[in-house]
Amino acid sequence: MFTSHIECPKCSAHYEPDQPHQLCSCGSPLLVKYDMQKVAANMHKDVVARRPPDLWRYRELLPVVNADNIVTMGEGMTPLLHLQRLGRKVGMQNLYMKDEGIIPSGSFKARGAAVGVSRAKELGVKTLAMPTNGNAGGAWALYCAKAGIEAVIVMPKDAPTIPRSECAIAGAKLYLVNGLISDAGKIVAAAIAEHQWYDASTLKEPYRIEGKKTMGLELAEQFGWTMPDVVLYPTGGGVGLIGIYKALCELKELGWVSGDLPRLVAVQATGCAPIVRAWEEGAQQSEFWNNAHTCAFGITVPKAIGDFLVLEAVYKTNGCALAVSDEDILAAESLMAKVEGAFVCPEGAACMAAAERLLAEGWIKSDERVVVLNTGCGIKYPETVECNPPLLQPGDTLNWSA
Amino acid sequence: MFTSHIECPKCSAHYEPDQPHQLCSCGSPLLVKYDMQKVAANMHKDVVARRPPDLWRYRELLPVVNADNIVTMGEGMTPLLHLQRLGRKVGMQNLYMKDEGIIPSGSFKARGAAVGVSRAKELGVKTLAMPTNGNAGGAWALYCAKAGIEAVIVMPKDAPTIPRSECAIAGAKLYLVNGLISDAGKIVAAAIAEHQWYDASTLKEPYRIEGKKTMGLELAEQFGWTMPDVVLYPTGGGVGLIGIYKALCELKELGWVSGDLPRLVAVQATGCAPIVRAWEEGAQQSEFWNNAHTCAFGITVPKAIGDFLVLEAVYKTNGCALAVSDEDILAAESLMAKVEGAFVCPEGAACMAAAERLLAEGWIKSDERVVVLNTGCGIKYPETVECNPPLLQPGDTLNWSA
Express each pLDDT in B294-346 by its tens digit: 999 999 999 999 999 999 999 999 999 999 999 999 999 999 999 999 999 99
What does each C-alpha distance from B209 to B58, B129, B215, B319, B349 come to in angstroms? 14, 17, 10, 20, 23
For residue B124, the one-letter residue type is G
User: How many domains does chain B divide into?
Assistant: 1
What pLDDT is attached to residue B120?
Answer: 98
Residues on chain A touching B165 (C-beta within 8 angstroms): 343, 378-379, 382, 385, 387
Of A196, A243, A201, nearest to A98 by C-alpha is A243
Looking at the complex, does the CB of residue B331 fall below 8 Å from at least one CB of chain A? no
- Chain B, nearest residue to A164 by Cα: B387
What does each C-alpha distance from A170 to A83, A105, A137, B158 come to in angstroms? 35, 11, 11, 26
Interface probe, candidates B71, B161, B169, B223, chain A, greatest A C-beta count within 10 A: B169
Looking at the complex, does the CB of residue A189 fall below 8 Å from at least one CB of chain B? no
- Chain B, nearest residue to A50 by Cα: B50
Instruction: pLDDT band for B1, please (50, 70, 90 cuts).
Output: confident
Q: How far is B279 from chain A (nearest CA, A)?
A: 30
- Is 80 exceeded by the pLDDT of residue B248? yes
Residues on chain B touching A53 (C-beta within 8 angstroms): 53, 77
Looking at the complex, does the CB of residue B69 fall below 8 Å from at least one CB of chain A? no
Task: Give the number of other Cβ atoms within 10 Å of residue B127's Cβ.
Answer: 18
Interface probe, candidates A51, A69, A73, A195, chain B, greatest B C-beta count within 10 A: A73
Looking at the complex, does the CB of residue B67 fall below 8 Å from at least one CB of chain A? no
A 366-385 residues inside an 8 A Cβ radius of B: 377-380, 382, 385
Is B392 within 8 Å of A177 when comparing Cβ atoms? yes
Within a domain: residue B320? yes
Residues on chain B touching A72 (C-beta within 8 angstroms): 81
Q: Secondary structure of B245-297 in the HEC alphabet? A: HHHHHHHHHHCCCCCCCCEEEEEEECCECHHHHHHHCCCCCCCCCCCCCCCCH
Is A165 within 8 Å of B379 when comparing Cβ atoms? yes
b/e code A251-270 from CB counts within 10 Å (16+ = b): bbebebbeeebbbbbbbbbb
What pLDDT is attached to residue B399?
Answer: 80
**How far apart are the two ends of chain B, measured CA to CA in Å?**
62
Residues on chain B touching A49 (C-beta within 8 angstroms): 50
The closest CB to that of A145, out of B54, B99, B337, belongs to B337
Looking at the complex, does the CB of residue B105 fall below 8 Å from at least one CB of chain A? yes
Most distant CA atoms of chain B, gap in Å:
74
How would you classify the pairing of strands A150-156 and B3-7? unpaired
Bigger pLDDT: B401 vs B156: B156
Q: How far is B372 from chain A (nearest CA, A)?
A: 15
For residue A370, the one-letter residue type is V
Instruction: pLDDT band for B119, please (50, 70, 90 cuts).
Output: very high
* pLDDT per residue of chain A (402 residues) written in tens, 0 to 9: 899 999 999 999 999 999 999 999 999 999 999 999 999 999 999 999 999 999 999 999 999 999 999 999 999 999 999 999 999 999 999 999 999 999 999 999 999 999 999 999 999 999 999 999 999 999 999 999 999 999 999 999 999 999 999 999 999 999 999 999 999 999 999 999 999 999 999 999 999 999 999 999 999 999 999 999 999 999 999 999 999 999 999 999 999 999 999 999 999 999 999 999 999 999 999 999 999 999 999 999 999 999 999 999 999 999 999 999 999 999 999 999 999 999 999 999 999 999 999 999 999 999 999 999 999 999 999 999 999 999 999 999 998 776
Cα gap A236→A273, rounded to integer Å: 9
Of A346, A82, A329, A94, nearest to B146 by C-alpha is A82
- Chain A, nearest residue to B396 by Cα: A187
Within a domain: residue A5? no
Residues on chain B touching A169 (C-beta within 8 angstroms): 333-334, 337-338, 343, 378, 385
* Contact by Cβ (8 Å): B341, A143: yes
What pLDDT is attached to residue A152?
Answer: 98
**What count of CB pairs under 8 Å joins A to B?**
262
What pLDDT is attached to residue A402?
Answer: 62
Average pLDDT value for residue range B213-218: 98
Residues on chain A touching B179 (C-beta within 8 angstroms): 393-394
Return the CATH number at B372: 3.40.50.1100
For residue A261, give its domain range.
Answer: 80-106+212-382
The closest CB to that of A387, out of B77, B165, B339, belongs to B165
Q: Cβ neighbours of residue B110 under 8 Å, at least 6 residues apart?
A: B73, B75, B103, B104, B139, B143
Most distant CA atoms of chain A, gap in Å:
74
The closest CB to that of B178, out of A102, A183, A392, belongs to A392
Is B145 within 8 Å of A390 when comparing Cβ atoms? no
The closest CB to that of A382, out of B103, B162, B190, belongs to B162
Cα gap B300→B309, rounded to integer Å: 18
Looking at the complex, does the CB of residue B85 fall below 8 Å from at least one CB of chain A? yes
Cα gap A105→B101, rounded to integer Å: 9
Within a domain: residue A62? no
Residues on chain B touching A120 (C-beta within 8 angstroms): none
- Chain A, nearest residue to B151 by Cα: A402
Within a domain: residue B140? no
- Chain B, nearest residue to A337 by Cα: B170
Task: Give the number of other Cβ atoms within 10 Å of residue B401's Cβ.
Answer: 5
Q: How far is B110 from chain A (nearest CA, A)?
A: 11
Is A146 within 8 Å of B340 when comparing Cβ atoms? yes
Residues on chain A touching B142 (C-beta within 8 angstroms): 337, 341-343
Looking at the complex, does the CB of residue A196 fall below 8 Å from at least one CB of chain B? no
Looking at the complex, does the CB of residue A165 fall below 8 Å from at least one CB of chain B? yes
Q: In what order do the strands lie in the sheet with A369-374?
A: A80-82, A94-99, A369-374, A230-234, A263-269, A320-324
Interface probe, candidates B165, B174, B344, B384, chain A, greatest A C-beta count within 10 A: B165
Looking at the complex, does the CB of residue A331 fall below 8 Å from at least one CB of chain B? no
Length of chain B as a residue count: 402
What pLDDT is attached to residue B402?
Answer: 62
Residues on chain B touching A55 (C-beta within 8 angstroms): none
Within a domain: residue B122? no
User: What number of CA atoms fall less than 13 Å from residue B67's CA on the CB side?
Assistant: 5
Within a domain: residue A158? no
Express each pLDDT in B73-111 by its tens digit: 999 999 999 999 999 999 999 999 999 999 999 999 999
Is B176 within 8 Å of A391 when comparing Cβ atoms? yes
Q: How far is B149 from chain A (nearest CA, A)?
A: 11
What pLDDT is attached to residue B82?
Answer: 98
Is A392 within 8 Å of B175 when comparing Cβ atoms? yes
What pLDDT is attached to residue B317?
Answer: 98
B 114-133 residues inside an 8 A Cβ radius of A: 127
Is B164 within 8 Å of A391 when comparing Cβ atoms? no
Instruction: pLDDT band for B400, please (50, 70, 90 cuts).
Output: confident
Q: How far is B11 from chain A (nearest CA, A)?
A: 31
Looking at the complex, does the CB of residue A341 fall below 8 Å from at least one CB of chain B? yes
Residues on chain B touching A144 (C-beta within 8 angstroms): 341
Within a domain: residue B294? yes
Cα gap B74→B56, rounded to integer Å: 9
Is B379 within 8 Å of A378 when comparing Cβ atoms? no
Cα gap B361→B344, rounded to integer Å: 25
Q: Cβ neighbours of residue B101 under 8 Å, at least 6 residues apart?
A: A104, B78, B107, B343, B344, B345, B348, B374, B376, B377, B378, B379
Express each pLDDT in B29-82 by its tens digit: 999 999 999 999 999 999 999 999 999 999 999 999 999 999 999 999 999 999
Express each pLDDT in B338-369 by its tens digit: 999 999 999 999 999 999 999 999 999 999 99
Looking at the complex, does the CB of residue A166 fall below 8 Å from at least one CB of chain B? yes
What pLDDT is attached to residue B64?
Answer: 98
ipTM confidence: 0.96
Within a domain: residue A27? no
The closest CB to that of B400, out of A142, A195, A396, belongs to A195
Residues on chain A touching B145 (C-beta within 8 angstroms): 337-341
3-state secondary structure of A220: helix
Is B391 within 8 Å of A178 when comparing Cβ atoms? yes
